[in-house]
Amino acid sequence: MTTNAQAPLLSRLFGRRHSRTSPLALLVRNRLAAAGLVVLCLVVFIALITPWLPLPDPNATQPSDRLIPPFTTGHWLGTDQLGRDILSRLLWGTRVSLVVGIAATLVAALIGSTIGIVAGYFGKRVDSTLMRGIDMMMAFPYILLALAIVAVLGPGLLNALYAIAIVNIPFFARNVRGVTVTLRNREFVDAALLSGKNHFLILVTEILPNVLPVIVITMSTTVGWMILETAGLSFLGLGAQPPQADLGSMLGEGRRLISTAPFVSTVPGVMIFILVMSINLLGDGIRDALDPRLKAGALRRPAARTRTSVEARQASQYEQRGVLDVRALRTEFHLDNQVHRAVNGPTFSIEAGECLGIIGESGSGKSVTAMSLLGLVASPPGMIMGGQVNYRDTNLLGISDNDLRRYRGGELAYIFQDPLSTLHPLFTVGDQLVEAMRSHYAISYTDAWKKAVTLLEEVRIPNAANRAHSYPHQLSGGMRQRVSIAMALANEPKLIIADEPTTALDVTVQAQILALLNRLRDDKGASLMFITHDFGVVRQVCHRVAVMYAGEIVEIGPVEEILAQPAHPYTRRLISCVPDVERKTGKLEEIPGLPPQVNNLPEGCKFADRCDMVADQCRQAPIELKTMNERHQARCIFAKEVV
Amino acid sequence: MATPLWRYVGKRLLLLIPVLFGLSLIVFFIMALIPGDPAQAILGSYATPENVARLNAQLGLDKSLPQQYLTWLGNIFQGDFGRSYNQNREVISIIAERFGATLILAGTALVLCSIFGLLAGIISASRQYGLVDKAITLIVLIGISMPAFWLGLLMIMLFAVEWRLLPASGMFSIYGGGDLPDLIRHLILPAGTLAFIATGVIARLTRASMLEVLRQDFIRTARAKGVNERRVIYRHAFKAALVSIVPVIGIQAGFVLGGAVYIETVFQWPGMGSMLVNAISTRDLLLVQGGVLVIAAAYVLINLAADVVQFILDPRVTA
Amino acid sequence: MKRIVNPIAAVAFATTSTFAIAQTPPNVLVVGQIAEPQSLDPHAVTAVNDFRILVNLYDGLVRYADGTLEVEPSLAESWDISDDGTVYKFQLRDDVEFHDGTPFDAEAVVFNFERMLDEDHPYYDTGPFPLAFYFSQIDTVEATAEHEVTFTLNEPFAPFLSNLAYPTGLLISPQAVREHGENIGRHPVGTGAYQFEEWESNSRVVLTRNNDYWDGAPDLEAVVFRPITDANTRVAEMRSGGIDMMVEVPPDNVSMFKEDPMFQVYEQAGPHVWFVILNMRNELLQDKRVRQALNYAVDKEALVNDVLQGTATVADSPIAPAFNWAYNDELDGYPYNPDRARELLEEAGAVGEELTFYVTEGGSGMLDPINMGTAIQANLESVGLDISIETYEWNTFLGRVNAGLEGEADMAEMAWMTNDPDTLPFLALRSDAMPDEGGFNSGYYSNADVDKLLEQARTSTSQEERARLYKEAQAIIVEDAPWIFVANWQQNAVATDRVENFHLQPSFLLQLRDVRKP
């Protein structure tokens, strides 16, 4: 489940160029963590300056002044059972507890991480031996283990520290081993081995830096726990030696007075609570800030529907053309105070029974365009800023959630790129098909299952009745994509939006799927919006094609016409990328350079930097779509001349 | 599918043997290192070296340690766990009495903390950064930031002494109890306390797993199919998240069994934890030995159960 | 989700209906004990906690008369002691049966003592019997008639009767021992006022009224002993009505219970001494002035009144005042006098010296050892010594202290509860009682005069003579100051106002025969 399928869209969009917020900034932005940091700093600060504060001797007993209640002059937090000043003992005790907690964490981290790294790196017998040992430690009730260790070593703060550290070794060992195992198989380790580095050097120079974040995260989440456990040992009488104060022993001594003088235990109890709470809050923050999964943005849950601006939610103002009519759609991603304009106003429509191809490189905004139609762009960070998506004379961007849900998978169905990650791994394909139907129609499970089997037969899945009981991972890529298609067909859609449905498949399977889609579209009379980066595919299935670049349509028109006479330089480049069976040379041309960053789009033609025909006027102002003929437009000032 | 599961369970059960064997060695080793001996504990103030030596001879503790271990090991294979030095009873019958109580306490706590942890995590994740999420995050953090024993004492003070709502300690009423409602009344405070401090880990993990799962492509697929949002969260996302949560619940069982030591002491629950603390301090080697092995076996079995659940949940896991 | 939630709702519903806490029923006394008993075999146990149950289940040949430490007849109606003090002839009651219906007779008595003392006895292996040495002076025990038992001692031994009255001298049914073997500790059968009903581990031991008790059946129908190890929980149970009586009330809760009219606090001084052993093999502590200085430096009044909240009185001798006939009340002891202590230390050149102090975390009769140790440490530091505390859990502590302090520590806390004035000084202050000789003289005190006095007192059969000898010995010991004498515990108990006719015994035993709870 830990497969890191974090919106592939986002990483493709922003990739490596996405500027990362520093961990510290992330930490400060998390308000709870920041509060924890402030409280912890305060506690640490007070603990540090305690020796210079005008406090009574924490160990000076005065039995006649015992159990003075708090808020008495001279003893602001009262006195304990021997008449010692609680405030003074509290501050000195906090120092001790902090040091013990941190030291125990360091010891546990050092030993545990070493075991973890060694086990993970050397694997095989070393690994299984070490991890069996760790298993044993985990099976041993931890408090009893700590108790037994202290019983062996004798009581005392230092021994309690060792006991706590030993008991917590497994946490570090397990976490670190897990990361090390994945690192071990990475190429840089092999490279280092080949270059003649010995194991020790590799461990220290290659592995350690990479597991360090995990160690830090584990440490930050265990310090608080360590302080609690030290307190627990002191509670059982095995910690600090009298008269020395630490929070646990204060609590342990005070608990006997809990019914007569509750403040004696409440004060250290609250202090432990504040200390551990602030550490835990901070620890959470540190984890969030260092977690690699968060690099692409906050670990945020996408809403059921893309956030949509008021402007985009306006009722339809146009007379609708075709089945689906998209006007000036604008979708943006708001990340780290930057605006990434992914979709910049494409306008197009799809006729009944027509197949419209949308083509472009990675990051051209074609997928985001497709997702925006039914509000499936992850949000946050996505937001639809403007435009309209008209279907049945209503703007889909403005309808209620429930109405939208009814269209989704009903009249408007999606097929996604990688069916392994887009099908739910834990349900059978039959079950997933049934669900698709039952989300839209009141139909019994058995009937739906029968229909599901029929659908699977329809998409040419052999032995469909059995296959329906399979889980996605038990099917081949082609079969899975057929299942996706069957799912899209389940509720007799008017329009199927297929987002690179064949990209993940090999060439022969790809051909079969395309043929299948073509046939089904003909049979069912549905429209198809087909997103791809491959003109070869477009040629096989599409009637018209829209070429997208940097979120804009740069050329749109009938497939035959565009293939024969591409009007935009980018289109020409794309076409020449297609391996041509007829052309014997078969040399593929790559397009030099990279698409512009969508958080910093140029004013003029967005393709200018990569265009071999670029002229000064290209960069001066936004380029309008020029009409070649009634059905063919292109966004290039040289377009007419080309034709 | 049935065959590999059973083979897997069998394999795991076999693996249990070396773990238990290793543990028994560790226990023997540690207990041998602890100064003092059972005779000392039995004799108390009268433990002169002379008396101690005489009693040790009676208890068979004058033999060498490896010899004692081998004797014990030999007896184990005949189902004989030996006698507690201190209580002069069969270890097995002491454990039989205690283990049920611990199982009830720790089991209830584990179930409670799983339910609350999962619910809190799901709600937290589906209302991420909302007020409810923040409130849950805070409450859950309070749980893991409090010393268990202190919380337990506060509970007794409030519910038993101040309000007299629930009994302060024990497992059954001394008079006129002994039925299920009576047990439940006694169980509420200790199990609740233990569950409260154990909920945090599960809630936090559930929240994180849910957030991660909710960003997966198959969730988008579910939404694209027109599945309603409740179902997306409780069926699609939760089931997927559960796969990574279940093993942690297994590990959490270790925490709950450990935490039960404090809770049993504070609430006077007649379980294994308080017995073992006492057995360690009285150097009751065979009792410690038997008790630790039973708890460790329980822990390993709970984790095995967690793995089996995961196996059933996730068809991709191969045994 | 629904299916999971439902049982919880059911549980909540079920519990609300029975929320009210039931009070303990009339004529049943629920006693909060400090721990689970180890066994109910009187010869196998050592803890006062277990004795509290045993004395209600069993009788011995003799017992302590109510409110004293004087011996009076019990199952033995009368006895004769030979002039040389080595032959004891007991006439037994002939109207007593064990709870299992078997008759109590001379053979039963013989069985009891031989089981404990004779390694060849067929039931010797139902032991071990750790306190058998209480009777190690017994040479033979014979049934000289059906109801006459004759003990022959290998030397005169004055505390013999007193030891017979101690719980180790309680008598168990031979038939039950034969039947249950090594599990006899879970199936006790005696002759006492109550008989064994059930023992549910870590939950309760239930005794019910013995209607045929030879000394008059008790009023209570049943007594329930509940082990509650945590003192806070015990107090909480007392306050929430879960128990009727608790013993060893933490000092700080005593005043709380005293102020509450719902409860009655009972206090009784007993033969208990709390002291600090001084290691006389430490060069510094060999100097009597230093030992006396330590005694002067400790503020015992503050310890008993503030730390122990008046649950103890100041001790000034190795013999507790509860042994009123043997206690020497003419000694002044060492009243708190830090100035005198400083003077003495300066004379001895001991100012600024470092000493190690063993402190235990708890333990039988140790009262509040950590707080007391800490307060003593603070006292000693204030007169110019440098004291470092090492705390040990009770069994470790005993192991270290009983093995002798030489080379380990300079001071150690200790407390004894005894049944005869002989016991403590004889076991812990004699030259022949060094740790390596099986004694408890962990501080290595040695004074030939004291040795002689103790030996004489132990073999004398005249109490007057013994009293004189003990008083003389006390004077010497107090002057020598081998210990810091600190406190004599006042044992305490709390009961609800429903409990009647209860009082504590100086023997620390919990006699419940006459208690009523209507």
Give the count of domains, chain B: 1
Give the length of chain A.
Answer: 643
Which percentage of chain A shows pLDDT scores above 70?
91
Q: How close A57 gets to chain C, by Cα (Å)?
A: 11
Work out whether the CA dihedral A153, A154, A155, A156 comes out positive or negative.
negative
Mean pLDDT (chain A) is 83
pLDDT at A640 over 70: no
Q: Is pLDDT larger for residue C12 or for residue C463? A: C463
Q: Closest approach of chain B CAs to the CA of A618, in angstroms?
A: 39
Phi, psi angle pair for A627, to nearest 5°: -90, 120
Tokens for A307, please give them: 């956030």
Where does residue A20 fall: left (phi above 0), alpha (psi -120 to 50 degrees), or beta otherwise? beta
Asked if B22's CB is within 8 angstroms of A424's CB, the reply is: no
| Close Cβ partners of C345 (under 8 Å, ≥ 6 residues apart) | C289, C290, C293, C351, C383, C384, C385
Report whether pLDDT(B169) > 80: no
Question: Please, what CATH class does the domain formed by C1-56+192-244+498-518 belong to?
Answer: alpha beta
Closest CA to A203 of A141, A116, A145, A308: A116
Comparing C-alpha atoms, which of A440, A350, A314, A340 is closest to residue A11? A340
Which residues of chain B are within 8 Å of residue C4 when distances are taken between CB atoms?
A: 115
B161 versus C88: which is more confidently predicted?
C88
Q: Give the C-alpha separation, B195 to B114, whole Å.
A: 8
**Fold assignment, C59-180:** Dipeptide-binding Protein; domain 1 (3.90.76)
Q: Is B250 within the bounds of a domain?
A: yes
Of A132, A376, A440, the CB nearest to B18: A132
| Domain-wise residue ranges, chain A | 25-50+86-296
Average pLDDT of chain C is: 88
> Per-residue pLDDT tens for B184-198?
888 999 999 999 988
List all chains that touch chain C, counting a touch as 3 or more CB pairs closer than 8 Å.
A, B
- Three-state SS string across C89-119, please? EEEECCCCECCCCCECCHHHHHHHHHHHHCC
Percentages helix, strand, coil for chain C (3-state, rounded to 5) are: 35, 25, 40
Residue A169 burial by Cβ neighbours in a 10 Å radius (0-12, 13-18, 19+): buried
Measure the CA–CA gap between A609 and A61, rounded to whole angstroms. 82
* B&C contacts, CB < 8 Å: 173
Q: Does A9 touch chain B (CB under 8 A)?
A: no
Question: pLDDT at residue A14 above 50?
Answer: no
Q: Strand A324-335 and strand A544-549: pairing?
A: unpaired
Query: Do C142 and C110 form a contact (C-beta atoms < 8 A)?
Result: yes
Chain C closest-CA separation from residue A186 CA (Å): 43
B 101-130 near A (Cβ less than 8 A): 125-126, 128-129
Dihedral sign for Cα A452, A456, A457, A459, please: positive
Q: What is the rounded distance in angstroms from the CA atom of residue A616 to the CA atom of residue C43? A: 110
Interface A-B: count of C-beta contacts within 8 A:
231
For residue A409, list chain B residues with Cβ-Cβ distance below 8 A: 224-227
Backbone angles phi, psi at C320, to 5 degrees: -75, 145
Domain that holds residue B219: 92-313
Per mean pLDDT, which range of A188-202, B141-155, C171-185 is the poorest?
A: A188-202
Please report, for chain C, the start and end positions of each structural domain, with discontinuous segments joined by +: 1-56+192-244+498-518, 59-180, 272-491
Residue C51: list chain B partners with CB under 8 A: none
Q: What is the pLDDT of residues B214-264, one digit of tens each?
A: 888 888 889 988 888 888 888 899 998 888 888 888 888 888 888 888 888
Closest Cβ–Cβ partner in A67, A242, A253 for C359? A242
The question of ipTM being above 0.90 is answered as no
The packing angle between helices A263-290 and A86-122, to 10°, is 30
To the nearest whole Å, the CA of A178 is away from the closest chain C CA by 33
A80 touches A267 (CB < 8 A):
no
Asked if C232 lies within 8 A of A255 by C-beta distance, the reply is yes
**What residue ranges in A568-621 does DSSP mark as E strands?**
none
* Chain B residues in contact with A422 (beta carbon < 8 A): 217-218, 220-221
- Is there a contact between B275 and C185 if contact means CB atoms under 8 Å apart? no
C394: chain B residues, CB-CB within 8 Å: 281
Q: Which of the two residues, A66 and A292, has the higher pLDDT score? A: A66
What average pLDDT does this structure show over C373-387?
92
In a domain, B61, yes or no: no
Q: From A32, A246, A99, A287, select the one nearest B142 (Cα to Cα).
A: A32
Q: Can you give the pLDDT at residue C314?
A: 94
Q: Which two tokens stand for residue C292?
A: 């006396």
Mean per-residue pLDDT, C48-69? 92
State the pTM of this model: 0.80
CB contact under 8 A, C374 and A61: yes
Which chains does A contact via 3+ CB–CB distances below 8 A? B, C
Quick one: pLDDT band at residue A88, thresholds 50, 70, 90? very high
pLDDT band at A18 (very low <50, low <70, confident <90, very high): very low
Looking at domain C272-491, what is its CATH homologous superfamily? Dipeptide-binding Protein; Domain 3 (3.10.105.10)
Between CA A70 and CA A85 the distance in angstroms is 10
Phi, psi at A599, each rounded to 5°: -95, 5
Number of A/C CB contacts below 8 angstroms equals: 79
Segment holding A119, helix H or strand E: helix A86-122
Q: What average pLDDT does range C358-369 have in this prediction?
A: 84
Position C41 confidence tier, pLDDT thresholds 50, 70, 90: very high
Minimum distance, in Å, between the CA of residue A304 and any CA atom of chain B: 7
Taking contacts as CB-CB distances below 8 angstroms, the residues of chain A near B229 are 304, 401
What's the token pair of residue A367?
């997928």
Distance (Å, whole) CA A85 – CA A97: 18
**8 Å CB contact between B124 and B204:** no
Strands C411-417 and C272-278: antiparallel
Give, as one character, the DSSP assignment of residue C60: B
Q: Write down the residue that tokens 């670190």 correspond to.
A: A176
- Inform me whether the pLDDT recorded for A28 exceeds 70: no
Does residue B200 form part of some domain? yes
Tokens 């002291």 correspond to C275
Of the candidate ranges A414-428, A442-456, C267-281, the one whose mean pLDDT is the lowest: A414-428
State the Cα–Cα distance between residues B112 and B198, nearest whole angstrom.
9
pLDDT at B2 over 80: no
- CB C454, CB C420: distance < 8 Å: no
* In-domain check, residue B292: yes
Give bridge partners of residue C451 from the DSSP assignment: none
Fold exhibited by the domain A25-50+86-296: MetI-like fold (1.10.3720)
Per CB-CB distance under 8 Å, the chain A contacts of B147 are 228, 231-232, 235, 248, 251, 269, 272
| Cis status of the peptide bond prior to C128, with omega within 30 of 0 | yes
Tokens, residue C152: 């022959």
Within a domain: B38:
no
CA-derived radius of gyration, chain C: 25
Q: B21 lies in a domain?
A: no
- Tokens linked to A222: 């265990």
Partners of A634 in beta bridges = A555, A626
Inter-chain residue contact C228 with B169, CB threshold 8 Å: yes
Question: What's the rounded mean pLDDT across residues A124-146?
Answer: 84
Cβ atoms of residues C434 and C404 within 8 Å: yes
Q: How many helices (H) and strands (E) does chain B have?
A: 13, 0
Which pLDDT tens digit goes with each residue over C286-309? 999 999 999 999 999 999 998 888
Among A100, A102, A92, A101, smallest CA distance to A48 is for: A92
Whether residues A59 and C378 touch (CB distance < 8 A) is answered with yes
Neighbours of chain B (3+ CB pairs under 8 A): A, C
> In this structure, what CATH number is given to the domain that contains residue B101?
1.10.3720.10
Q: Which helix (H) or strand (E) holds A341?
A: strand A338-344
